[in-house]
Chains A and B, each alone.
Chain A
């Protein structure tokens, strides 16, 4: 097991390295480059002398690898640079915005895993009956409903028509836990629909093929009760999709938060990234992309380790 973690780490580190290079390269890939972005209104109104001074201050005269090195060292020290827009350190700009987004993403992961996973299992067990077909239909709908529409309809119905839940707004966790959950219910549910449906589909097909396999027939033939057959024997063979799904869902949910946070007016990374992009505030965009990239790499590492823990055959294949 230890060897597997070491091996996966060995592949995760280059992945993280490459992603930092890409993040760093961002500032050169975008039109105008960093100076223009920082000056906002274009370089036309500044003298070449002024531009040269800014370049020197930003260290842009150094060779690119050196610039990268300085940037990386700063990042590793927790210094993500200074926002071009607000002139405040990036960490203070995005710091308070991490928690709401993480709450949304973790909440949506939990809901989609529990509800989506549960529905997937149910659909597989009842696959030739009405229940199974209804679940399949529902998850099919869930996959095809556009989330911006769903978010708008949910906010309208629950918030404005029925007044059950707040249509917009957010109470931070530090202020009031109950209020916090209350404001998160709608956005989390909207975010969970697509990922949950996706997971339900995957787990139900994995579970259905597990249920048709000879070892399940053996389990029935030995008189094991249904809950053991389904949850112990079959599910253990069908959880692989859930595990590989979590990093994927995470990436999808990061995209989803951009939309949902904007619709529900939640001050998270998703709203921040939209304003940073329109302000061409590269240090902030870089920092957010970096955080997401590292988290995805870590989640992938955890998923691979989890898979190996769950399936001895994978374990053997890796350690051989």
Chain B
């Protein structure tokens, strides 16, 4: 009973496919204060639709996870969050922690990269599932148990009795991830933030989990935000794709269109990092990162690493529609040049930068020319 007090009062009508379930607008997050202040998100817009998967790609520190945690209200107290996060007809930013808790689990849930440590090591899996299931419903134990069993069946954990009586360390990583997904389902979540849900799993299990999520999205009209640094994973399951770089979205649009014809140099660079069956390479290209790069407080933040960078890039580009078709947005002033070139200009030739190289303050040829492995 107590759990319901903070919860939303409106009935939980199932969303229709394509309905905008969660809308994030101009989300800004800063950590710390004074000189130690760092900006994690600089105005991010994301829209999650029922029955669709939105992929968010980007390297570590690009703000992918911060965005999801902000939407869940799970950022540490030291974080200053601004902007708007709407879940259906509720503005989550206006809610107290207590009210927000009524949305967590029952409307919004989040699963993480850690699989074996994401469940409490000293509590039986069944008890953890029951605890979550009973938090969000007034029904009795038997009813909660039914929901848990149904959810376990839905994530295709067949031997539910055995799973429920196990401790997390007795289950495999893939099974733990299924249990957590089942936990979200048994609570009735409509939105699922999946933060690198398959990164810790081996490839065959990864495939199963992705397929499972895909299936749930179709059946349950879940709205999923799938975070990954791995474009191959996102390419497989996402409807829409947003690429983030240093706290900003640099490119977004329908996943296949973005991946087929990336309009932002960073998206291209990420794609170049994917090993394919068709190209044999001794080393994968590196997206180098240098100190100079972090100083880019103004202008395009990718310009020190960008082979297309020119003088115009000292101005900060807006996220704007471009001619690539669909609802595609890109944050790049040189998109035309990027789209015009079939391949990424050979980064090992500083000449590709042309006369512009000297125009970049502090630009170091090595910052753009580094060519070793390291993509994530």
Contacts and interface: CB of A to CB of B under 8 A. Distances in A.
B301 interface: no
Interface in B123-154: 123, 131-132, 135-136
Contacts of B119: 215, 218
A311 B123 CA distance: 8
B3 A213 contact: no
B106 interface: yes
A266 to B, nearest CB: 40
A224 B122 contact: no
Nearest to B133: A222
A91 interface: no
A128 B104 CA distance: 24
Interface stretch (A38-46, A228-236, A282-290): A228-236
A237 B117 CA distance: 12
Interface in A222-271: 222-225, 228, 232-233, 236-237
Given A218-B180, A222-B109, A236 B120 contact: yes
A267 B97 CA distance: 55
Contacts of A219: 120
Nearest to B114: A214
Interface string B100-118: 0111111001111010011
A225 B2 contact: yes
Contacts of B16: none
A223 B121 contact: no
B308 interface: no
A40 B3 CA distance: 74
B167 interface: yes
A269 B60 CA distance: 63
Size bin of chain B's contact surface: 20 to 34
A9 interface: no
Contact of A237 (B105, B112, B122): B122
B121 A228 contact: no
Contact of A220 (B77, B78, B104): B104
A316 B166 CA distance: 12
A63 interface: no
A228 B135 contact: yes
Contacts of B3: 223, 225
B128 to A, nearest CB: 8
B15 to A, nearest CB: 19
Contacts of A311: 121-122
B122 A236 contact: yes
Contacts of A222: 104-105, 109, 132, 135, 183-184, 187
B203 to A, nearest CB: 22
A215 B135 contact: no
Nearest to B127: A232
Contacts of A313: 121-122, 167, 169
Given A225-B3, A313-B169, A233 B132 contact: no
Interface in B54-111: 72, 74, 77-78, 101-106, 109-111
Nearest to B97: A226
Contact of B120 (A215, A225, A310): A215
A217 B118 CA distance: 8
A312 interface: yes
B118 A218 contact: yes
From A222, A236, A312, residue with most partner B Cβ within 10 Å: A222
B311 to A, nearest CB: 45
Given A215-B121, A237-B120, A237-B122, A224 B135 contact: yes
A232 B74 CA distance: 19
Contacts of B2: 225
A76 interface: no
A164 interface: no
16 contacts: A214-B112, A215-B117, A215-B120, A218-B112, A218-B183, A221-B72, A221-B111, A222-B104, A222-B187, A223-B102, A223-B132, A223-B187, A225-B3, A225-B101, A312-B169, A313-B122
Given A217-B112, A222-B187, A312-B169, 16 more contacts: A215-B119, A215-B120, A218-B112, A218-B180, A221-B109, A222-B104, A222-B132, A223-B102, A223-B106, A223-B132, A224-B105, A225-B2, A225-B135, A228-B131, A236-B120, A312-B121
Interface of B: 2-3, 72, 74, 77-78, 101-106, 109-112, 114, 117-123, 131-132, 135-136, 167, 169, 180, 183-184, 187
